[in-house]
């Protein structure tokens, strides 16, 4: 069976990226060779990069252009071998410059190198600066670029910043002020790779391109919403970073909150970046922890302990390399929120994320209110509520659960599922989130990037929790849970109080 649909090839009407130079700071790091360069090569293979394109890698290491090219080829491995002639062309646009953003002379040398590349590759002075560096360098990095005049032209220069953007509400505010003093907000692209996922974007299309969903997408028809992002992996080699963030900062404040925003936002007047971001910001400003005064009533933290099979035992978090003994960093969080607006008043939003859970998956589950009168018995006891399950990853798609008549002479109901699967309908894997987001950043399209007020509103939601963890951590204890289980029992109790259960995917 052919792997791709031959009639599909070349049909997508993709927008054209203008000639430009993408500058990656932190080019010797993990993200560059694992995500960014593969994403750029994918764009090249899809003919979406202009011929006047250059990638300038920058880091403190004293690499040459050739070393950088070689390292990237090694990192891409089989992909390069399978597309050797394309790689030959692509690699001609790869350059490297040793730069320490703290050193003014390095930044001035960078400016000169960029001019040379403009001449060499006809990139017309259009530049996208990608800060794939430690978050502590974001502010100074932007300042250095600004002082060298590299952000002077708001139409030709952009800065892409990775998460985390701040550690809490006040640090995010300060960072926003600092970054905005270096350039206009329209030049700042705060990346959240969850927004690059087709399935997250599909929530917008599902809601706003169909007339059947939007009329029932509110408190009158929906009784609760669950948003889950589960990982099977542990902390792996990221203990150093994870110890300073934990699940709340690493996943909830950004990825889960963005999913919440897209699920709960009002329809924008038109498909325009600012119209969409306005609606997202508004819904985040209306979101609150279910009990801000006593957050321990609506939030559960957990930490994985050892587990796994006898043959393949898994370490507990405390035993992982790089983790501080006695660490109280959470690897699991579950919480209940409300969105206090006309549409969602009284509808609980349950968010959970964790490491070392039994399955890797992300999903949004909308549970609809029960029928007002149960006319029919169910073959499984109580008739179940209708559910719309939006599967973000893996097995991307959507599923709708509803009751039908069970075959037989009686009139009993039973639940069935109507399913849409990306794989079965489209048969091709969707692009990695970075492919979409890098292209959008270079196109100057900020729709899928978070604006300063969104970031601040997201931090503000969790401020009561962060303050509590800081000041009175004993009030928000860390519950241990065995690796490869669905989190601590206390998390189930959080929903049991509302006579609900987490969906077991």
Burial of 313 from C-beta contacts in 10 A (0-12 / 13-18 / 19+): exposed
Segment interacting with another protein, rule: CB under 8 A, options 5-13, 202-210, 411-419, 480-488: 5-13
Our finding on whether 372 is near another protein (CB under 8 A) is no
The least distance separating another protein from the CB of residue 275, rounded to whole angstroms, comes to 11
Our finding on whether 7 is near another protein (CB under 8 A) is yes
Our finding on whether 370 is near another protein (CB under 8 A) is no
User: DSSP assignment, residue 2?
Assistant: -
The least distance separating another protein from the CB of residue 184, rounded to whole angstroms, comes to 13
The least distance separating another protein from the CB of residue 204, rounded to whole angstroms, comes to 21
Can 255 be counted among the known catalytic residues? yes
Segment interacting with another protein, rule: CB under 8 A, options 12-20, 104-112, 157-165, 286-294: 12-20
Nearer to another protein, 5 or 104 (CB): 5
The span from the CA of 503 to the CA of 364, in Å, is 10
Nearer to another protein, 49 or 248 (CB): 49
Catalytic residue among 33, 124, 193, 255: 255
Our finding on whether 6 is near another protein (CB under 8 A) is yes
Our finding on whether 5 is near another protein (CB under 8 A) is yes
The least distance separating another protein from the CB of residue 250, rounded to whole angstroms, comes to 36
Contacts made by residues 289-297, CB under 8 angstroms, sequence distance 24+? 289/335, 289/336, 289/337, 289/461, 289/462, 289/464, 289/465, 290/335, 290/336, 290/337, 290/338, 290/348, 291/336, 292/464, 293/464, 295/464, 295/465, 295/468, 295/476, 296/468, 296/475, 296/476
Our finding on whether 9 is near another protein (CB under 8 A) is yes
Kindly identify the residues of this chain, within the stretch 98-127, that bind another protein according to CB under 8 A.
124
The span from the CA of 405 to the CA of 485, in Å, is 35
Which residue(s) pair with 287 in the sheet? 339
Question: What are residue 384's phi and psi, to 5 degrees?
Answer: -90, 155
Kindly identify the residues of this chain, within the stretch 139-158, that bind another protein according to CB under 8 A.
155
Cis peptide before 117 (omega within 30 of 0): no
Sequence-distant (6+) residues with CB within 8 A of 13 are none
Q: Which of 13, 84, 85, 210 binds another protein (CB under 8 A)?
A: 13
Our finding on whether 1 is near another protein (CB under 8 A) is yes
> Residues binding another protein: what is the number (CB under 8 A)?
23
Our finding on whether 394 is near another protein (CB under 8 A) is no
Sequence-distant (6+) residues with CB within 8 A of 339 are 260, 264, 283, 286, 287, 288, 345, 347, 349
Our finding on whether 2 is near another protein (CB under 8 A) is yes
The span from the CA of 397 to the CA of 395, in Å, is 6
Q: List interacting residues with another protein (CB under 8 A).
A: 1-2, 5-11, 13-16, 47, 50, 124, 155, 423-428
Known catalytic residues are: 255
């Amino acid at each position: 069976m052919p792997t791709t649909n031959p009639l599909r090839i070349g049909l997508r009407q993709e927008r054209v990226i203008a000639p430009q130079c993408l500058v990656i700071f932190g080019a010797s790091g993990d993200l560059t060779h694992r995500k960014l360069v593969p994403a750029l090569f994918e764009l090249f293979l899809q003919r979406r990069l202009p011929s006047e394109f250059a990638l300038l890698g920058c880091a403190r290491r004293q690499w040459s252009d050739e070393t950088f090219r070689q390292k990237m080829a090694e990192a891409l491995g089989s992909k390069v071998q399978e597309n050797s002639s394309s790689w030959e062309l692509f690699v001609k646009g790869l350059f490297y410059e040793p730069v320490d953003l703290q050193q003014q002379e390095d930044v001035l040398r960078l400016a000169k190198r960029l001019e040379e590349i403009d001449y060499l590759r006809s990139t017309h002075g259009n530049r996208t600066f990608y800060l794939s560096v430690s978050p502590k360098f974001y502010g100074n990095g932007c300042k250095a670029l600004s002082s060298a005049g590299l952000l002077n032209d708001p139409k030709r220069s952009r800065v892409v910043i990775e998460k985390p953007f701040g550690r809490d509400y006040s640090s995010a505010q300060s960072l926003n002020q600092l970054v905005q003093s270096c350039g206009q907000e329209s030049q700042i692209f705060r990346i959240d790779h969850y927004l690059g996922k087709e399935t997250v974007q599909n929530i917008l299309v599902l809601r706003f391109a169909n007339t059947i969903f939007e009329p029932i997408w509110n408190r009158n028809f929906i009784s609760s919403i669950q948003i889950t992002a589960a990982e099977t992996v542990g902390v792996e080699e990221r203990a150093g970073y994870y110890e300073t963030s934990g699940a709340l900062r690493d996943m909830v404040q950004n990825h889960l909150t963005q999913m919440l925003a897209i699920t709960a936002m009002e329809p924008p007047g038109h498909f325009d970046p600012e119209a969409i971001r306005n609606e997202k910001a508004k819904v985040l400003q209306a979101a609150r922890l279910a009990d801000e005064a006593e957050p321990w009533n609506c939030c559960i933290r957990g930490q994985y302990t050892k587990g796994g099979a006898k043959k393949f035992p898994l370490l507990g978090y405390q035993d992982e390399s790089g983790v501080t003994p006695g660490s109280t960093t959470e690897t699991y969080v579950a919480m209940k929120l409300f969105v206090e607006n006309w549409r969602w008043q009284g509808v609980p939003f349950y968010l959970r994320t964790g490491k070392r859970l039994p399955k890797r998956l992300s999903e949004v589950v909308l549970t609809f209110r029960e029928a007002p009168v149960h006319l029919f018995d169910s073959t499984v006891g109580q008739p179940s509520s209708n559910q719309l399950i939006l599967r973000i990853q893996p097995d991307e798609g959507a599923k709708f659960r509803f009751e039908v008549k069970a075959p037989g002479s009686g009139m009993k109901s039973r639940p069935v599922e109507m399913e849409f699967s990306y794989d079965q309908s489209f048969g091709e894997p969707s692009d990695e989130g970075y492919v979409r987001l890098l292209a959008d950043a270079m196109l100057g399209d900020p729709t899928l990037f978070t604006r300063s007020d969104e970031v601040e509103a997201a931090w503000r939601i969790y401020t009561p929790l962060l303050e509590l963890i800081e000041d009175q951590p004993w009030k928000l204890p860390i519950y241990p849970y065995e690796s490869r289980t669905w989190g601590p029992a206390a998390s189930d109790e959080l929903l049991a109080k509302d006579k609900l259960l987490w969906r077991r995917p």
